[in-house]
């Protein structure tokens, strides 16, 4: 591993993909409106839930907004990096262009995961941060360095888990060729991350902590924000992150053994 080489290559990736994305300027504008409307829609939905109750699964409306903020940031990150790149794997495998990636003197996972970037997701990330700042104000959270460090760590962990999930699903393309829809399934399950985990029934809660760790992705970072989270949960999230990252890496290397180019 040569970090400097990878940094240089990444700069080139950024340059080329930004240049091609800015070809479609109105598209970026439409995506911005979509992101704003989507946030308004989910807050509207949340307000319907809170019409006649003050808490859902022990979360007040103001606290549940934090989850929305974190979800929006993560969704923005998904739209900026994961979605454009990892759906490309399907294309690489179907058209046999994965050969060219594997032949390059660079790590294939690095290339496949970071080649493209979709700038319209940035706006969503910013929207999420604005909502979080607003939440900090209305929930009267006092900022200090420890709190900031802790919330940053948990959000980073969430991003890593999310990335591993996406990467894991996309890797299965090597066997099934058309897993475009598998990412769609993941997307629809991740939708649940907009709501506090405690608002679901016990069996679904287990499902969403073990199989698809949505609990770790949005709920724990939000608890950290509110200062409710216990230390063991944060440590557990760290452990889960490491497990997910290493298994998804191993799974990719394992899957590559079964890759037999197109038409062979």
Partner 1 sequence: MISNLIQRKIFTLLKVQYSNMLEYRVEIALWAISGVIPFFMLNIWTNNNLNESINISDVMLSRYFLCVFFVRQFSVVWVVFSFEEDSLMGKVSPYLIQPLNPFFRYLAQHLAEQITRFPFAIIIAFFFFIFNPGSIWIPNLGILLLSIISTFLSFLIQFLIQSIVACLCFWTEKASSIERLLFIPTLFLSGLLAPVASFPEYVKSWIYLTPFPYLIDFPANILSGNTTNISGGLSMQILWIILLFPVFRKIWFAGTKKYTAMGS
By the rule CB under 8 A, 112 interacts with partner 1: no
> 3-state class of 236 per DSSP?
helix
Q: Which two tokens stand for residue 194?
A: 């907009």
Q: Are 32 and 95 in contact (CB under 8 A)?
A: no
Taking the complex as a whole, the smallest distance from the CB of residue 179 to partner 1 amounts, in Å, to 8
By the rule CB under 8 A, 192 interacts with partner 1: yes
Considering only 10, 110, 147, 180, the residue that binds partner 1 (CB under 8 A) is 180
Q: How far apart are the first and last CA of the chain?
A: 32
By the rule CB under 8 A, 42 interacts with partner 1: yes
Q: Which is nearer to partner 1, 193 or 241 (CB)?
A: 193
Q: Which residue has the tokens 């066997």?
A: 175
By the rule CB under 8 A, 95 interacts with partner 1: no
Considering only 14, 56, 126, 141, the residue that binds partner 1 (CB under 8 A) is 56
Question: Near partner 1 by CB under 8 A, which window of 1-9, 52-60, 141-149, 156-164?
Answer: 52-60
By the rule CB under 8 A, 172 interacts with partner 1: no
By the rule CB under 8 A, 239 interacts with partner 1: no
By the rule CB under 8 A, 47 interacts with partner 1: yes
Question: Sign (positive/negative) of CA torsion 121, 189, 242, 130?
Answer: positive
CA 50 to mean position of chain CA atoms = 27
Considering only 199, 226, 249, 255, the residue that binds partner 1 (CB under 8 A) is 199
Question: Sign (positive/negative) of CA torsion 238, 2, 258, 117?
Answer: positive
Question: Near partner 1 by CB under 8 A, which window of 10-18, 30-38, 126-134, 225-233?
Answer: 30-38
Q: Are 249 and 109 in contact (CB under 8 A)?
A: yes
Taking the complex as a whole, the smallest distance from the CB of residue 199 to partner 1 amounts, in Å, to 5
* Helix locations, the chain, DSSP H: 3-21, 25-49, 61-77, 83-95, 98-103, 108-114, 120-138, 145-171, 173-176, 180-190, 202-210, 214, 220-226, 231-256
Which residues form the interface with partner 1 (CB under 8 A)?
A: 24, 26-27, 30-31, 33-34, 37-38, 41-42, 44-45, 47-49, 51-53, 56-57, 176, 178-182, 184-185, 187-188, 191-192, 195, 199-201, 204
């Amino acid at each position: 591993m040569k970090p400097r080489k990878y940094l240089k290559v990444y700069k080139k990736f950024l340059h080329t993909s930004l240049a091609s994305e800015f070809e479609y300027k109105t598209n970026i504008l439409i995506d911005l409106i979509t992101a704003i409307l989507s946030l308004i829609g989910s807050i509207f939905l949340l307000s319907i839930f809170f019409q006649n109750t003050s808490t859902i699964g022990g979360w007040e409306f103001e606290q549940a907004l934090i989850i929305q903020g974190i979800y929006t940031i993560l969704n923005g990150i998904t739209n900026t990096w994961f979605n454009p790149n990892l759906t490309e794997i399907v294309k690489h495998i179907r058209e046999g262009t994965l050969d060219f990636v594997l032949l390059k003197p660079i790590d294939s996972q690095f290339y496949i995961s970071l080649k493209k970037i979709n700038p319209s997701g940035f706006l969503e990330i910013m929207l999420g941060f604005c909502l979080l700042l607003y939440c900090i104000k209305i929930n009267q959270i006092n900022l200090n360095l420890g709190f900031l460090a802790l919330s940053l760590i948990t959000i980073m962990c969430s991003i890593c888990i999310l990335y591993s999930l996406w990467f894991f699903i996309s890797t299965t393309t090597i066997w099934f060729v058309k897993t475009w829809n598998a990412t769609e399934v993941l997307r629809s399950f991740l939708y649940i991350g907009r709501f506090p985990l405690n608002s679901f029934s016990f069996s679904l809660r287990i499902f969403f902590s073990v199989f698809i760790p949505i609990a770790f992705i949005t709920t724990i970072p939000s608890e950290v924000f509110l200062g409710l989270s216990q230390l063991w949960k944060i440590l557990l999230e760290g452990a889960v992150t490491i497990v997910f990252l290493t298994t998804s890496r191993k799974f990719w290397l394992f899957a590559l053994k079964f890759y037999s180019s197109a038409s062979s």
